[in-house]
Amino acid sequence: MTFRWFHRMGSPKWFYETSGRFMPWLGGLAALLIMVGVIWGLAFAPSDYQQGNSFRIMYVHVPAAMLAQSCYVMLAICGVVRLVWRMKIADVALQCAAPIGAWMTVVALVTGSIWGKPTWGSWWVWDARLTSMLILLFLYFGLIALGNAITNRNSAAQACAVLAVVGVINIPIIKYSVEWWNTLHQSSSFSLTEKPTMPPEMWLPLLLMVLGFYCFFGAVLLLRMRLELLKRESRTRWVRSMVMDSPLALGAMRAAR
């Protein structure tokens, strides 16, 4: 039963129809969670006894950094699926998620620099955590460039899958860099698997922001994948019949082109 569902998920038609049911819910949850988390974190959470109010940027920095790393792990999984089972939908997910992950990495680096200025007295230091995050950004750029540079879709999918799988070695380096080396970057003060070291009135809004960012990622990824599927499958019967029945789908397919 599990393998049957797995192979069904590889069908572009089935994925397009199923994803349309989840996308509005993910978008609505993302808007609600982020709105509550931002207001709670910026206006009502107590200030930090050491950093004062400058710590509040973590309500954007931490979710962006977590999502940037999780997104690349997802790309590596998609790469394995593409290499082993040759599923086209895995390449679609990889190509559509890479720009989102790159933007989240940029947000994490920029907000980290803003946070580092009052904390460390410098916008940037060649810290192990910061350097490995910068490498992550270059990996995202490499995936995007590689996917656009190779004209043959199958060759591009193979090359991007290999790069995604190889590059995932950087993720544990990012996570454990503060433990393996003597760095300025503080250890993680929030984790989904460990008890937070912060008081509840500080970590609860952060939890809402993390969940909101992941819901936002899911909604945007599904939207991008649906548009990409319409573009790639434009000559298939199911897309043509859907376009005939829905003017909105026709507009989406034209926009994807």
Rounded Cα gap, residues 80 and 161, in angstroms: 7
Q: Look at residue 133 in the predicted model and tell me its pLDDT.
A: 96
- Selected residue with higher pLDDT from 49 and 158: 158
pLDDT of 249 reads: 58
Alpha helix positions (H), 86-236:
88-120, 128-149, 153-167, 170-180, 200-232
Position with higher pLDDT, 189 vs 219: 219
Higher-pLDDT residue of 198 and 131 is 131
Query: If pLDDT is split at 50, 70 and 90, which confidence band does 5 have?
Result: low
Contact 61, 108 (CB under 8 A): yes
pLDDT band at 183 (very low <50, low <70, confident <90, very high): confident
What tens digit of pLDDT does each residue of 97-109 get? Answer: 999 999 999 999 9
The string of pLDDT tens digits covering residues 215-247 is 999 999 999 999 999 999 888 888 887 766 665
Looking at the predicted structure, is the pLDDT value of residue 123 above 60?
Answer: yes
Asked whether 174 and 138 are in contact (CB, 8 A), the reply is no
Q: What is the pTM of this model?
A: 0.91
- Token code pair at residue 75: 């790309």
* pLDDT value at 257 more than 60: no
Helix (H), strand (E) counts: the chain: 10, 0
